[in-house]
Structure 1
Amino acid sequence: MTTEEHVVLVDSTGNAIGTAPKTSVHGLDTPRHLAFSSYVFDEAGRVLLTRRAAHKATWPAVWTNSCCGHPMPGEALEQAVLRRLAHELGLVVEHADLLLPGFGYRAVMDNGIVENELCPVYRVLTKDAVSANPDEVDGVLWMPWQEFTEGVGSNLLAISPWCREQLPLLTALGDDPLAWEPAPEDGLPPAARVT
Structure 2
Amino acid sequence: MFKLNPHAIKIPATKDICIQVSAEDKVVGPIGKVEAHMRPLTLHRAFSVFLFNSKAELLLQKRSAEKVTFPSVWSNTCCSHPLYNEKELKDEKFEGIKSAASRRMGQELGINDIPIEKFNLVGKYSYEAIMDEIWGEKELDYSLILKNYDDLNFDKINKEEISEIKFVSKGSLDKMIKDGQAFSPWFMMFYNKGFLQKWWDDIEAKKKTTHDYGTIYKLD
Unmatched runs of 5 consecutive residues or more in structure 1:
190-195
Q: How many residues align?
A: 185
1:36 is matched with which residue: 25, 34, 47? 47
Identity value in percent? 26
Report the AA paired with residue 138 of structure 1.
S
Aligned to 2:58: 47
Aligned to 1:12: 23
Q: Distance in 2 between matches of 1:62 and 1:142?
A: 15
Report which stretch shifted further, 122-131 or 168-177.
168-177
Q: Distance in 1 between matches of 2:65 and 2:110?
A: 19
1:96 is matched with which residue: 102, 108, 119? 119
Provide TM-score, normalisation by structure 1. Answer: 0.85
Aligned to 2:75: 64
Which residues of 2 match residues 50-129 of structure 1 at below 5 A? 50-73=61-84, 74=86, 75=88, 76-92=96-112, 93-94=114-115, 95-99=118-122, 101-125=123-147, 126-127=149-150, 128-129=152-153
**Deviations 1:113-165, CA, capped at 9 Å, x for gaps:** 2200000111113222223111211111111133214543x363320000001
Whether the 8 Å CA contact 2:199–2:209 is kept in 1: the answer is: no
Q: Distance in 2 between matches of 1:180 and 1:28?
A: 41
Provide TM-score, normalisation by structure 2. Answer: 0.76
**Deviations 1:36-75, CA, capped at 9 Å, x for gaps:** 0011111111111111111111001111111001011231
| Residue 135 of structure 1 pairs with residue 160 of structure 2 | yes
**Deviations 1:80-124, CA, capped at 9 Å, x for gaps:** 11111111001132221111x221110011445220000011111
Report the AA paired with residue 144 of structure 1.
S
Once the 2 structures are TM-superposed, how far is the Cα of residue 183 of structure 1 from its aligned partner? 4.1
Report the AA paired with residue 34 of structure 1.
R
Report the AA paired with residue 161 of structure 1.
P
Unmatched runs of 5 consecutive residues or more in structure 2:
1-13, 89-95
Runs ≥4 residues deviating over 6 A? none
